[in-house]
Amino acid sequence: RGQYYWHRFFSHQPDLNYDNPHVQDAMLENLRFWLDLGIDGFRLDAVPYLYAREGTNCENLPETHTYLKRVRAEIDRLYPDRVLLAEANQWPADVVEYFGDPAQGGDECHMAFHFPVMPRIFMAVRREQRYPISEIMAQTPKIPDNCQWGIFLRNHDELTLEMVTDEERDYMYTEYAKDPRMKANIGIRRRLAPLLDNDRNQLELFTALLLSLPGSPVLYYGDEIGMGDNIWLGDRDAVRTPMQWTPDRNAGFSTCDPARLYLPLIMDPIYGYQAVNVEAQANNPGSLLHWTRKMIEIRQRHPVFGVGAYVEL
């Protein structure tokens, strides 16, 4: 019919026109709806791309920050205990702008993901060198006192390799993605346990390292029990299979017909839901789940891990 719309990402994801005041108001209404239901906060997906302008790459535009300040003011006014978490796959020097005005203690997002630290943890451990981590930490700017970085080992997307050198990217592919099907976009579509060959010692080392770095650690569902992935599924779906709660029907995730699950369960003998699930590990004091809970408990007892100053020796 000769009709079209602008979309930054998938064709089924039209961009909203935030230049329209009615769209701005409607989005605030949507936020209030979910906050009134009791959610703890929002992850602002691809937040640098809210606005579009001819002649620019449509990233990090001033209008985006203006609207975020309006959103934050509404959150602070009505829901002061909730969190806005910026998802911006960029360098820390660019992402820091999404915390807002330091003089105000941060008047945009309370938190922002720190993407470049993720691949560097994998490089540092495999090379047995501190340099990849210490380098990116040195490049990480100071943030407002009331704000925090979100750090992670894995998430629902690929292990992104956008912010590494070509040489480092080749190294990561060689070490962690020996099968071409493990690659996606500019990264590796694998969960933590398969990336580390399901080695318990490595899983503990990586998790302990994450929990000791500055910022608030974010654990991807299933990594606390060593869930696997399915590289036969398309694109990022490889790491998005249903959570494995029990060894029962549909891994305890749903009572529906298994054919109606949004993605198939993992069935292999190593990572399948009958072998790897929360119920079994909750009853085993020596399990990865118990170990992870204990490490989190230790971290919570020592606030310096979350809010202390980072000084390299």
The answer to whether residues 64 and 48 touch, using CB atoms and an 8 Å cutoff, is yes
Q: What is the largest CA-CA distance in the chain?
A: 64
Find the helix packing angle between 117-127 and 166-176, rounded to 10°.
70
- Options 19, 36, 40, 45, the catalytic residue: 45
- Options 87, 158, 223, 229, the catalytic residue: 87
The answer to whether residues 166 and 158 touch, using CB atoms and an 8 Å cutoff, is no
229 is catalytic: no
Question: Which among 53, 103, 99 is positioned nearest to 215, based on CA atoms?
Answer: 99
Q: What CA–CA distance (Å, rounded) separates 165 from 143? A: 26
Q: What CA–CA distance (Å, rounded) separates 86 from 43? A: 6
The answer to whether residues 159 and 122 touch, using CB atoms and an 8 Å cutoff, is yes
279 is catalytic: no
R_g of the chain computed on alpha carbons? 21
Dihedral sign (CA 91, 130, 153, 40): negative
Q: Which long-range contacts (CB under 8 A, 24 or more apart) does 72-76 make?
A: 72/100, 72/107, 72/108, 72/109, 73/107, 74/28, 74/31, 74/32, 75/31, 75/35
Q: Report the catalytic residues.
A: 45, 87
